[in-house]
Amino acid sequence: MSGVPSAPEGQILDGRYRVVSKIAEGGMAVVYQAIDERLARTVAVKIMHNQLAQGPKREQFIERFRREAQSAAAIANPHIVQVYDTGEFDGLDYLVMEYVHGVNLRHEMNQQGAFSVREALRILSETLDGLASAHHAGVVHRDIKPENILINDRGHVQITDFGLAKAVSQATLSTTHTLLGTAAYMPPELIQNGLSTMQGDLYAVGITTWEMLTGEIPFASGNGTNPMTLAYRHVHEDVPDVSVKCPGINTGVSDFIARLTARAVEDRPANAEIALTQLQQLMATLTIDDLRYRLSKPSDAGTPLLVPPIPPSTAVQRHNAETNQSETTRTAFQPNMAQPGSPTPAATSQSTEIGTGTTIMPMQRQSADPTATLNIPPRNDSSDARQRKTSIMTASPAPGVGTVRESGKARNRKPLIIAGVAAALMACCAGGWAWWYFQGPGSYWTMPQPEDLSCESSQSCVITDADWNSYKELLDFSNIEYETSEAYSDTVESGDIISTNPADVGAHVSKRHHQKVKVVVSKGIRQATVPADILDASSTDGKDPITALKNAGFDNVKEAEASDDTYSMDVPQGAALALNVDPGAVLPHNTKIIVTVSQGPKPVVMPDVVGKTKDETQQALDELKLNISWSEGFDDKIAQGQVISTSVKSGSELHWGDTVQVVVSKGPETVTLPNYVGQKASDAKTALEKLGFSVKISSQLTLDSSQDKKVASQDPTGGTQVRLRQEDGTPNTITLKMYSSLF
């Protein structure tokens, strides 16, 4: 179901691109064929799904769309699908791309099966050439797979879908917060550490080439492939050498693919350009037969294959091996001795159809020695002698051979001897059968060996890591009763056997006591869910994210090392700032989760800003993320505009967001001195002292109620702007000169 709100067929986007028809639809967008009417050329228009544009991660997907355009536009190479333009349709972002006439590599793989070395290396070479340009531009593709490698109608490679591409310096899991890509082609370092590298692109190219040559992906299972299992095996196992699947392939080819798919990043070429150079050097050494090599499979009968010539003897052996099965591979397993109601040996020796994937056990050969058949230990010499003697006594002479005439007594004793021997034989056989049935092989089943389990002949062989469905068929065929249970396992794939009881191949399962084999089947790696509210600092999970993740079932939770980046003014101390996984994601319980925990506001030291200008103080406290409350005051020592004091002493510890009160100087306090000339000296003195001045009278006459002086002059003169205090804080002195006046 398309996520585009209305079918755009027939519409013209941005007055330029006329949509013709839908080409394909994926999980992120729908691709249409369109005509660029301005340039009269066919293009492909990729329109984002509506549900993505309206979803909670709208910005993330829009960013991926735009990144695809920017990444592809930065690369000029004929093996890269070009992006021409971007725009918006009905609120949905779209890309205008080069229209490639052809199919993707996956289609070719499905059609051809295994490729010849020549064709596989040609596709590899052109893919590396395109990636070399990307790597030179500093771009990592991150999602190389057959679906993103197009084969145009000229047979040449064009790489598409740079939606996951990132700059090399940014391509880490922590920047994407999700594990993107396709499990079958993802390099170990991306799965395990979230690190995207140019060597990771080479790993994916190597896996793709491995698949082209073998017709299957590495680590694939016969019953379907679990992506988590694939990812686990890519991390913990080396990719098998391609020569295991393609015997006879040139060793240089297999070695080169092994370098591309090396588990350790440092063992791969540093980038696609270096890998391309190495490939060109390799191809110069290959012979025609090397290049014509192609894996031959039985299903290819009648189809000419480009394979190296096979010697006649080898060809005959191969023909015999393919057309005639050996007796042991066609014969079903049968116990040593038939039980009541079971098929006879003749019946069980017929070819038996068990079903696809079922192990056919070889029939045990019947021994000429009855003791071997019954598993009875051989008798000692005296017993053999007695048996031979009895056989001689009871043997009848052959016709025509002379005999000694027996006496009547001997004739009478003969039936007794025969009866005694018969009774002894019956007792012997009955005892042997009783031993076989109650204590010997008839009293138990033997645990069979799973077809996909290898055992060393000299060591015990524990039944584990084997496909349960196949082994179940084997137990059913052998009439062995069993009961199953399920358990999670970090090492055994889902659907495989974790353990059995009895545990070993060849162990006995009692028939007499109706013993059942206990089988524990793996449910795969236990999954756990990241709490959806873990980044909400107000929630219980967000306040203690480490504990929340452990309670959710994750047991590989690490706290990121503290640094300047772990301080926050907004997120309280102890809450989560970031995770390397998405909230709400369902992941294996042993996924390494790194939690960046907030340390709260960062502690800072109050600087000494007294005497600094207001601008200098603002800059110093802003750098420490401190808030400032400004005020002004007069100061007799500190010039106007400079800091007089702060509410916090310098050297004191504060934290981001704390507020500091800062007083800025307005300079010395001044007044405009009034003119007191002609006024009573006593009134002038009182007024000046009230203003804060010190008054000096130049006359030595005493003023009393009967006599007073008037101000003749003053210093400073009236109307002058005068400081109230000196720098040491003492009041300024005003000098008054007076003359007498009688009332």
> Is residue 190 within 8 Å of 179, Cβ to Cβ?
yes
SS3 state at 47: strand
Sheet strand arrangement including 733-741: 694-697, 733-741, 708-715
> CB atoms < 10 A from the CB of 493, how many?
21
Using alpha carbons, select from 593, 487, 588 the residue that is nearest to residue 534.
593
Q: What is the DSSP letter of 482?
A: E
Q: Is the dihedral of CA 651, 654, 657, 660 positive or negative?
A: negative
> Is residue 78 within 8 Å of 156, Cβ to Cβ?
yes
With DSSP H G I counted as helix, E B as strand and the rest as coil, what are the percentages for the chain, rounded to 5? Answer: 35, 20, 45
The Cα-based distances of 285 to 251, 252, 278, 298 in angstroms read: 11, 9, 11, 30
Continuous segment of H or E residues that includes residue 243: helix 242-245
**Tokens for 86?**
């971007």
Q: What is the DSSP letter of 713?
A: E
**Residue corresponding to tokens 């009967």:** 706
What ranges in 74-185 are assigned the alpha helix state H? 105-112, 117-136, 173-176
Rounded-to-integer distance, Cα 352 and Cα 350, Å = 6
**Tokens for 401?**
């051979």
445 burial level (CB within 10 Å; 0-12, 13-18, 19+): buried
**Tokens for 458?**
């000299």
Rounded-to-integer distance, Cα 202 and Cα 199, Å = 5
> CB atoms < 10 A from the CB of 598, how many?
21
**Tokens for 513?**
């006591």
> Exactly one of 36, 85, 93, 143 is catalytic; which is it?
143
Active site annotation includes 143: yes
Rounded-to-integer distance, Cα 191 and Cα 163, Å = 19
Tell me, what amino acid is at 135? H
Q: Which residues are catalytic?
A: 143
